[in-house]
Amino acid sequence: MYLEFVVPDMACSACVKSITRAIQSFDGSAEVNANTDTKQVTVSTSRARIEIEQTIMAAGYTVVSPPSP
């Protein structure tokens, strides 16, 4: 499934790398797409939304979640 997160303090490609690495060390098969302009992070994963959210926060970033469908 695809999960979308908004990460307001993701500013540059180094942030994208840290977030991607954190998520992929949690779920090795996850695909991460991040846009520093829109601050959106899209994750293709089989893990639960809360787990990915906690992983992003553990990497030091703030997550603003859009409402779950």
Residues engaged in binding Cu ion (CB under 5 A): 11-12, 14-15
3-class state of residue 18 by DSSP: helix
The answer to whether residues 24 and 47 touch, using CB atoms and an 8 Å cutoff, is no
CB of 14 to Cu ion, least distance (A): 4
Nearer of residues 52 and 61 to Cu ion, judged by Cβ: 61
Backbone angles phi, psi at 41, to 5 degrees: -120, 125
Nearest to Cu ion of 1, 14 (CB atom): 14
Residue 43 is classified by DSSP as E
CB of 8 to Cu ion, least distance (A): 12
